[in-house]
Structures are given as structure tokens and as C-alpha cells.
Amino acid sequence: MRIKHIKAHWLRCPIPAGRQWRSDYGQLTHFDMTLVEVTDEDGHTGYGEAKAAVGATGACASIVTCIEQELAPQLVGMEAGNITAVWEAVYSGSRDHYARDRGRVFPILGNRGTTISALSGIDTALWDLKGKRLGVPVVELLGGSCRESMPCYASGGWAAVDKLGDQLKSYVDHGYGGIKMRVGVMDNSVRETVARVEEARRALGQEIDIMVDAHGTFSVTEARRFARLTEDLGLYWFEEPVTSDNKAGTAEIRRGTTTPIAAGESEFTRFDFRDLIEHKSVDVLQPDCAIVGGITEARRVAALAETHQLELAPHCWGSAFSFMAGVHLAFSSPSAVYIEHSLGGNPLLYDLVKEAPRVTDGRIQLPDRPGLGVDINPDFVQQFRV
């Protein structure tokens, strides 16, 4: 069945005042996303998400334009089930026929950034559509699941040191065995960050896994100092210690600590993840299905994790569609251990769909509904479309 329509919508939804948070991105008052719809000739529709930013807020106008005015004219009429062919057609553009003949990529100039983010939303929507047409969950299309349920870690942890313990304990009270807190330039100094992490370990004890996420904001020297001062706290991982532009610096930090290093939410395509691995920069790969190139490319990243015996931890901070894309990916990969679950105010995770993804006692069950397993709430889309 061929692709008939591809549409994109910029959604901007306010976060209730009591659920907002502040980080290095500033005060987060809204959540943005690009919702992508792909409809086939039979009228079946799949949904995906394309991101303008890894955080909550980002202008999506350029992604909408890219999808509707650049990619849609190229892809309408192609076979909707040939998802890999669609992906390669976008990545190599007008030279796609050379790529197919020669067996290697001939990438367009926009082989990172907005175009790949736009492709991510289309690709994920095609997987959702294919699962719905066949009546099976996406995880079945990826080869089936490696497990019946998976633990989630609670992703939040913005509070100052005097309130952090209570904030994190409130997560654990809901059954989470792991939590992630934000660190880095949002604090006034490395010492203040260390104090917050020490308070987290004091409040949670030794049995709870603690991940820390610097959003790439430390310098190499600051990150090395932080890693040394927290070495005995047994952190589960240290995420994005420095900018993704500095893979050699990330490798330097990893060489100087036994704390595992995680990265990847800001990376585009498997080729960026290959570079992380070749630099020996990481222990944990974190592809975001709404950034990396969709489920197709995220599965290729999962194969790299499996090949190099690294942990896979999809970045699941976004709408219900990118969250569930990461969930299906994680269930399909033997390298995945944890699934990220946002504890910040996120209407796009809970209200964009008719029934929000369910996490019970810190665990999520194997998806068993067709496609991504979530249904769009059209009233929400209508209300918050920019």
C-alpha cells in the first residue's frame, strides 16, 4: 500500500505551574513537539515524533516545513511498507539510485540536523502504520521481545540540595529502582553538584541506582573532577558529561573513571554512534528515535551496542510516540536494561494519547497492541496546534 499523505503539526502545550522545572535550559513552561502523520491509500494512519530539541522546548516550524514541503513530495507514492527504502531515499536524495547500485550511502548535505529529525518522525510513523496494518506491535516487527517486562528509571531530579532528597524519595515511593537527576552548569560549581549527588545517595541508600545527567555542560576538567569526587558513590552512569561535539574529551573522561559514561541523545544516525564507539567514549548508547533517524536507525544503533557489548538505553524524553518507540526498541534488544520514564510535567506523554503508557511499580510491560500501541487524542492536537 502506497503513501498517500504526510502531514506535520507543531504542538505547543503549557506545563502546569506546579509541574514546571528549571535546568540549564531555563524555566520550562511549555512542551513542544512535531507530530507526524503518514496515511496510506487505504486510510490507515501512523504517527511519529520529530524533535527540534532534546529538551522540552523548541521551535518546530522548520521541521514542519521540511516534512511537508521537502520530504512529502519526494515520498508520497512510495510503498509504505518498504520503510528501509524510504529511509535511504531521504538520506541519499537524488543520488539514491547510485546508493542502491553501489551498496553505500551518497548522503545529502542535510545528513544531520533538521532533515534527519524530520525523517525520524516519518520513519517512526511508518513503523506505527505497518504494525497497525499487520495487527502486531512494532516490537514483533523488530524480531520480537527479549523479555516480558522491563524496569524504568524515574527521570527528573532538578531540586536544590535541601529539597532533593524528598524529591527523589517521592520517585522511589512509586516503585522505581533507579532515578536520574540533572547536574552540571545549572549548579553554581562542581562542589555544589557533588553536594547534590552526595545528598541523593544519602537519601536513597545504596540499593537505588542513581544516574546523573550533565546535558553536555561540563568542561572536560570539570567533568573529570566531578567523576573523581563521586567515584565512591557508585553511580550507575554519568550522562553527557561534555558537549557532543567533543567525543575525544568524553573519551578522556571515561579513561579517568570507573563510573560508566552514557551519551547519544544529541547524536544523528548510526555514523555518529560509530564515532562514539571508535573514540572509546561510552559505556551506554542513548539513541532518541525522534532525533537519530527514527526506529530504523535506532535499531541499527542497537546492533552496534549488541556488537560492542555496550548497554542500550534509549532516550525517551518526549511525547508518547517517541517514548513508545524507545520502549519497543528496548524490548527488542538484549543490550537494553532500563527504560527512561519522565517524572516532569509532560502533557505530551500523558494527554496527547487516549490512554497514556502505563508504568506500574517502576516497571513497564511488554507492549501488546498493534503499532506503537497508543492512539491519538484529536481534541488535544486541535487545541495545542501552533
231-287, pLDDT tens digit by residue? 999 999 999 999 999 999 999 999 999 999 999 999 999 999 999 999 999 999 999
Q: Look at residue 341 in the predicted model and tell me its pLDDT.
A: 95
**Active-site annotation holder among 9, 97, 308, 315:** 315
8 Å CB contact between 170 and 154 = no
- Taking residues 221-237, what's their average pLDDT? 98
Is there a catalytic annotation at residue 215? yes
Greatest Cα-to-Cα distance within the chain, rounded to the nearest angstrom: 62
Beta bridge partners of 212: 181, 238
Banded model confidence at residue 21, pLDDT cuts 50, 70, 90:
low
Q: Look at residue 78 in the predicted model and tell me its pLDDT.
A: 98
- Taking residues 348-369, what's their average pLDDT? 95
Closest CA to 125 of 81, 184, 176, 185: 81
Chain segment 168-187, per-residue pLDDT in tens: 999 999 999 999 999 999 99
- Taking residues 305-327, what's their average pLDDT? 97
- Taking residues 24-52, what's their average pLDDT? 91
8 Å CB contact between 238 and 194 = no
Say whether pLDDT at 313 is over 90: yes
Q: Mention every residue, 6+ apart, whose C-beta is less than 8 A from residue 32.
A: 10, 11, 12, 13, 52, 53, 56, 57, 58, 59, 60
- Taking residues 297-320, what's their average pLDDT? 97
pTM across the whole model = 0.96
- Taking residues 372-379, what's their average pLDDT? 97
Distance CA 58, CA 40 (A): 29
Q: Look at residue 345 in the predicted model and tell me its pLDDT.
A: 76
Could you list the beta-strand ranges (E) of 143-251.
149-155, 178-182, 209-213, 237-239
Q: Look at residue 15 in the predicted model and tell me its pLDDT.
A: 84
Chain segment 22-31, per-residue pLDDT in tens: 777 776 788 8
Distance CA 164, CA 39 (A): 45
Distance CA 318, CA 300 (A): 21
DSSP tag of 69 = I
**Active-site annotation holder among 5, 44, 215, 341:** 215
- Taking residues 6-35, what's their average pLDDT? 85
